[in-house]
Structure 1
Amino acid sequence: MTRIIMSGCTGKMGRVITAAVKEKADCKIVAGIDLRVPEQSEYPVFSSPEEMQIEADVVIDFSNPTALPSLLRYAEKSGMPMVLCTTGYSELQVAEIKEMSQKVPIFYSGNMSLGINLLIELSKKAAQVFGNAFDVEIVEKHHNQKIDAPSGTALMIADSISSVMEESPKYVYDRHSFRHARTKNEIGIHSVRGGSIVGEHEVIFAGHDEILTISHSAQSKEIFAMGALNAAVFLAKQKPGLYAMSDMLRD
């Protein structure tokens, strides 16, 4: 049985994971962390990791980038593995995550969906085949309450495509500010925010007289919840290091 601490337990994803864990026999949530401590909860909730005196195997974080420093301090002190699902980290924070992964196991992914990770692999393959003969544009759509833009997933896709290109491309986020033709060495990334869209990502490879589009649409947040729970069970057995969805799929 994998004992989980849920960071961001009163948020939307925290509540979805709390509900989803009831369908898994191999794990349970033993405590939560959230600035908003509810009057009633299925498990004890603390306002910070420092307050906890709970035995557990792994932390799942679906909260806010501002929570990262306290989580990393807790990880270093306790040796607790961390599944980090929060998006919107700065470059400095990503560097801190990588540094801490040398001491404790850390699973870091901007998207916990199996389908999205397959989209990434297909996009990498397309980029290898097309080279610079096709222009690459990424469009991501999310609900109107999402704060960060572009999404962490869109950046994951762009970074993966960039990794197989001969020359690192420039990311262009705001094309209306340019008054010149599109260059070959760039990836356009576009954000849409509206309604209750769970998450949609589209990768467009536009060539001469032909277009290849690879897309993924999330129908509910449950797919991310189950991915996070599977990652927690996987990570609790690992040695220090930085892990991603591709590692779990190979396991």
Structure 2
Amino acid sequence: MVKIILNGCNGKMGKVVRSLAEKYSNLSVVAGIDRKSGQGQGVFPVFDNIRRCSVKADVILDFSRPDAMDSLIDYGKEKNIGVIFCTTGYSEEQIEKMKEASKFIPVFRSANMSIGINVINKILKDISAFLYKNFDIEIIEKHHNQKVDAPSGTALMLGNTIRDSIKENIDFVNGREGIRKRAHNEIGIHSVRGGSIVGEHEVIFAGQGETIEIKHTAISREVFAVGALKACEFMSGRKNGLYSMDNLIS
């Protein structure tokens, strides 16, 4: 049985994870961390700060905000358990801290926990360098009106995958305005925010006389919860190191 501490247990994604975890015979959320610590009591204890958590666990699963990162890493080091970061909006400095922490404990980070979006990301690694010669590349991402970061972490993940596979210097252009022609070495990243859109990501390869579109649509938040719980299974008992969805789906 993999025992999970769920950080952000009373948030939108936390509630989805809690509900879905009940369907797994080999997984159990044994404690929750949330500023709304009064909610969820009875199913498992909920603490307003992970430093107050006294429940033994195998992994920490984080669906909260980037500012929780330091306390989760400190707790993971103290208890010698892995941390799975499912949040976006981290600074470069925070990402470096995760890498440093992975020298001591197992750390898993993904900008998107969907299995499908990560399959697309692997496909982009294989095709982008070849298509770049004759195709312009644009990324469009859509999310609900409460999402705080733009472009989305997933759009940046896809963009970085494309850029890393191309030998030329590639520039990201976040949206387009003004009067000028598009440079071939640009990848346009466009953000749409509205309503209750769970998440849509589309990569467009536009060539002469033909267009290739690769699109992923998240119909419900459950797709992210499924990936997160699979990551919990994967990370339980792992040695220290930095892991991602690439490791999980390989």
Q: TM-score, normalised by structure 1?
A: 0.96
Matches for 1:31-46 after TM superposition, within 5 Å: 31-41=31-41, 42-46=43-47
Q: Per-residue displacement from partner, 1:167-209 (whole Å, max 9, x unpaired)?
A: 2311111321x43211111111111111111111000011112
Q: How far apart, in 2, do the equivalents of 1:219 and 1:70 lie? A: 32
Which amino acid is the alignment partner of residue 248 of structure 1? L
Q: How far apart, in 1, do the equivalents of 2:80 and 2:180 lie? A: 52
Which amino acid is the alignment partner of residue 190 of structure 1? H
Residue 221 (structure 2) pairs with residue 234 (structure 1)? no
Which amino acid is the alignment partner of residue 180 of structure 1? R
Matches for 1:96-245 after TM superposition, within 5 Å: 96-176=97-177, 178-245=178-245
Matches for 1:5-20 after TM superposition, within 5 Å: 5-20=5-20
1:23 maps to 23
Q: Which runs of 4+ in 1 moved over 3 A?
A: none
* 127-136 or 182-191: bigger deviation: 127-136
Q: How far apart, in 2, do the equivalents of 1:40 and 1:83 lie? A: 21
1:39 Cα deviation from its structure 2 partner: 4.5
Q: How far apart, in 2, do the equivalents of 1:97 and 1:120 lie? A: 22
- CA contact under 8 A between 1:123 and 1:214: conserved in structure 2? no
Q: Per-residue displacement from partner, 1:133-166 (whole Å, max 9, x unpaired)?
A: 2111000011111111111111110011111101
Give the secondary structure class of the aligned counterpart of 1:31.
Answer: strand
1:246 maps to 246
- CA contact under 8 A between 1:143 and 1:193: conserved in structure 2? yes
1:120 Cα deviation from its structure 2 partner: 1.1
2:48 maps to 47
* 131-140 or 120-129: bigger deviation: 120-129
Q: What is the aligned-residue identity percentage? A: 47
Give the secondary structure class of the aligned counterpart of 1:184.
Answer: coil
CA 1:40 to 1:158, structure 2 compared with 1: closer, same or farther past 3 Å? Answer: closer
Which amino acid is the alignment partner of residue 212 of structure 1? I
Which amino acid is the alignment partner of residue 156 of structure 2? L
1:131 Cα deviation from its structure 2 partner: 2.8
User: Across the two proteins, how many residue pairs are aligned to each other?
Assistant: 249
